[in-house]
Amino acid sequence: MARVIDGKVLASGVRAEVKAGAVALRAASGVIPGLAVVRVGEDPASKIYVGGKRKAAAEAGFNAWEHHFPATANQAEVLDRITQLNAAPEVHGILVQLPLPPQLDGDALIRAVRPEKDVDGFHPLNAGNLLLGRPTARACTPAGVMVVLEHTGVKVAGAHAVVVGRSNIVGKPMALMLLHADATVTVCHRKSDLAAEIPRADILVAAVGVPGLVKGEWIKPGAVVIDVGMNRLPDGTLRGDVEYEAAAQRASWITPVPGGVGPMTIALLLRNTLDAARRAARA
């Protein structure tokens, strides 16, 4: 039976470190880390996520601002705000909450954020630096998964890691981080034979968005199972991409949904913002 990874406890450890770092930065330089979140429209999940990010930032001793636009906002007005935030010295981190309404070009908005302030790690420059293995702001969810793996004590170097999903915000950066940690990495997507690939995984990361896609019987005995999926069922409950009960019978470690990877994402966002504030204080 797998040991369950408590993402809330792990995340509170990271958040406590970040808070202590923010106190030290303020004492040394007077700089207070500042996070600005741009939200467009009324997506209910986005509203909750942004609320959570602001609350977590405030608890870490940061300044946090939300810039909310109506669903009808046009590209120019959102771009204009990003330009202002790029120039504001009290703002160290800017994130554009996804998804955006269809009339907006999200890629262009993300490219408009100054790379130094891109605390989501989504800007092409930061994504490229990750590819090249250079220090950079790294995408928060996969960076959180790396902290989770470290916590298990499982050796990543030499392990066979299978990542299911190849999005720019989770799957691809996850595969790169595992590769930089010397795992042998397989990336799966819609055309992959999951029943053939997943049983070879010492470390499995599922980031798909399909509840229960990963069958418990596919899990290699003793594997570490990290479930990034957050799927809202019609009854309102949250479910991961992995058949949790069956997978837990075979895995050595497993993350629950909710309470696994989710809390880590916000903790790593705070860490990225503190790092950006430290760089600004040195500049």
- Using CB under 6 A as the criterion, which residues of the chain lie in contact with ligand NAD when the complex forms? 141, 164-167, 169-171, 188-190, 192, 194, 207-210, 213, 228-231, 261-262, 265
Active site residues: 53, 97, 120
Q: How far is the CB of 2 from ligand NAD (least distance, A)?
A: 19
Tell me how far, at minimum, the Cβ of 63 lies from ligand NAD, in Å: 23
- Which residue's CB is nearer to ligand NAD, number 25 or number 40? 40
- Report the nearest approach of ligand NAD to the CB of residue 282 (Å): 30
Comparing CB distances to ligand NAD, the nearer of 25 and 186 is: 186
Nearest position to ligand NAD, beta carbon: 167
Instruction: Give whichever of 142 and 280 is closer to ligand NAD, judged by the CB atom.
Output: 142
* Amino acid letter, 264: M
> How many angstroms separate the CA atoms of 104 and 82, rounded?
14
Of 219 and 280, CB closest to ligand NAD: 219
**CA dist., res. 18 & res. 56, Å (int):** 11
Contact 264, 10 (CB under 8 A): yes
Nearer to ligand NAD, 21 or 171 (CB): 171
Least distance in angstroms from the C-beta of 87 to ligand NAD: 29
Output the DSSP codes for the chain. -PEEP-HHHHHHHHHHHHHHHHHHHHHHH----EEEEEEES--HHHHHHHHHHHHHHHHTT-EEEEEEE-TT--HHHHHHHHHHHHH-TT--EEEEPSP--TTS-HHHHHHHS-GGGBTTS-SHHHHHHHHHT---PPPHHHHHHHHHHHHHT---TT-EEEEE---TTTHHHHHHHHHHTT-EEEEE-TTS-HHHHGGG-SEEEE-SS-TT-B-GGGSPTT-EEEE---EE-TTS-EE-SB-HHHHHHH-SEE--SSSSHHHHHHHHHHHHHHHHHHHHHH-
Closest approach of Cβ 258 to ligand NAD, in Å? Answer: 8
Residue 91 tokens read as 């703002």
Shortest Cβ 239–ligand NAD spacing (Å): 9
Six-digit token pair at 188? 């799966």
Judged by beta carbon, residue 26 or residue 215, the one nearer ligand NAD is 215
